[in-house]
Structure 1
Amino acid sequence: MTSIIRKSPSTGKKSPDVWGIYEKDTGSVQYIVADPATKKASLIDVVQNFDPRSARSSYESADEVLKLARDNELTIEWVLDTHPHADHLMASHYLKEKTGAPNAIGEKTCAIAKLWSDYYNVSGLFDPRKDFEHLFGEGDSFKIGDLEVEVWLSPGHTLGSITYIVGDAAFVHDTFMYPDSGTSRADFPGGSSKELWDSLQRILSLPDNTRLFVGHDYGKGGREAQWEATVAQHKKLNVHLSGSVKEEEYRKVRDERDATLALPDRMLHALQVNLRAGKLPPTENDGEHYFKIPANKF
C-alpha cells in the first residue's frame, strides 16, 4: 500500500523526530516519535485495517509503520494509543507481539470499557488492565530514549482520551483537527463539549512553538492531507477557536454540528476490538471470530 508519509524533524535538544503516516481509508494519522540521539522510538495510534463490508481485518498499515521504523534503524520502546478509537481498529496487540514493546493507553479506558459493556450487553469481555501493560493517568511520565514524555488527561471526544507531550511535540489525537477544520466531535458516549473545550484550552497553554499532531484529517476542499500545526498557528487560524471565541459560543457550534453527524461506519465493530487492545472477539466453537452489533441503540 502507498501512504502519505512525512517527517517532522527534531528542532534541537529534547525535541523528537516525528513521522506521520496517513491511513486514507479512515483519515487517520499514525505516528512514530523518536529520540534522535538514541534512536529509541514509540508508535502512536497505529491502525489495524478493516473492511466493514466484509468484516475482514488485516495489518498492512501496521506493517508499513514497522518497515518505516526499521528503515530508519529505530528501536521500538512503546506501543501507545491515545484512546479507544471509534473510527478504526487499533493494532496495539499485534504491534506488542511484533516488537516486544509494552502497550499502553489511558487508565480511564476502564470506565469506557464499563460503558460499552452495557451497550454490547456483555460481561467480562473487556479488561483493559489485562490487555494493556500500562494504563497512564493524569501527570504520569515515562521516557522514549532520553526524552521525557508527560501524559495529560484530555477528555471531551471520549472520557478517557490522553495527550502525550514529548518536548516540543504533542500528540493531541481527537481534540484539534487541522486549523482549517477546527476541532473534533464530542457526541460519542462519555463525550462532552464542555470537557473538550477545557482540554483544547489546556493544550493551547503549551508554548507557541509546540508542534501539535492531530489524529485525523479529511483533506478539506480537496487539499492534501495535513496533520501538523503549532500552538501559535491554531490560536491564529483554527476556525473554531481563533479570535475571541468564548466557551458558550464554541459549545453551541460544536453541539449543533455534532447533532448532524452519523456514526463512523466502523464504530460498532471498533469499540469491541479496541477495548481489547486490538484483539478480535474471542473465537467460538468453530474457531472463528464474530462481532456483536447492537441494533437500534444509536
Structure 2
Amino acid sequence: MINSFNGLSTTARASILMIIGVLFFSFMDGIAKGLSTNFHTLEIIWARYFFQFLFSCLILLPNLTQLMRTKYPKLQLIRSLFLFGGTMGFFFAIAYMPLADATAIFEVAPLIITTLAFVVLKERVDLRRWIAVIVGLLGALIIIRPGSSAFNIYSLLPFFAAFCFACYTVSTRFLGQEENPWTSFLYTGLIGTILATLMVPSVWQTPDLFQWLHLAAVGAFGMIGHFFLIRALFIGEASFLAPFAYISLAFNALWGVLFYNEVPDIYVLIGSAIIVGAGIIIWRIETKQKKKIIVPAPQF
C-alpha cells in the first residue's frame, strides 16, 4: 500500500494527505460535541491541548529540545493566543449548535483572511475578491438569520472562531519560512495547555476510564490531523490544497446526522453553498495570479 501511495503523482499524494487531515479534524469535532453533554467545554478544550501536547512531546522527544527553540517567542505567543481563542469559540459553538451549522459559519475564515491580508499585510485585493468576501459573509448571515427565532448568541461563536483563526493565520504568515513548522506546532500546544490548565479547575469533573479515552482521543485526533496537514503542505502547494478544507463541512454534517440526529435545514444548505462558492472563487483568483495562500483547515 505504501509503495502504491508513493507511486502516485505529487498532487494526488498531497490531496490524499489533506483529505485525511481534514477527516481527523472532523473526528475531533464530532467527539468534542459528544463530550459536551457530560463535560464543561473548558474541560474538553483542556483535553484537546493537553493530550495533543503530551503525545507530540512523546513522538518528537529525540528532537524536542531543538524544536522548542524559537527566534520569535512573542509572535509564537500571539498566534497561539489567537488559535486558543478560535478553539474556545468553536468548541463552545458545537456544544450548543448543530455541527454542520457551526462548521458552515466557520468556513468564512478564508474570506476574513483575505480582508485581514488587505488591512494588516497591505496585500492588494482586487474587486473580484472583495465581491467574493461580501457574498460569503451574506451566506453566513443566511445561516445565522439575525432577527429570526433561529438566531441566538451562540450563532456568533463560530464567526468569532473564524475571526480568531484568520488572525492566527495572518500572524503565522509573519514567521515565513524561517521557523520550523513543528516548533510552531509545539508552541500552540504548550501555550494552549497552560491557558486551559489555569481555567479548568473551577469546572473540573473527574472522568471515568471510558471518558478519559474519549478526552485523549480529542487531542490525539487533533495531533494526527495536524501531522497530515503539515505533510500535505510539505509536498503540495497551499493554493492547490485550499479547497479541500471545505470537505470538513461534509464530514461534520455527516457526523451530525449519524450520531446527533442533526439534519441541516434549507438555510444552512443555501448559506453553506454560498460560503464555499465564494471561497472557491477567491482560491481560483489566487491560483491564476500564482499567489500562495495558507490553507484554512480547521485546526482546533
- Structure-2-length-normalised TM-score: 0.30
Structure with more of its chain in strand, by fraction:
1
Q: Of Structure 1 and Structure 2, which has the larger fraction of its residues in helix? A: 2
| More RCO (CA 8 Å, sep 6+) | 2
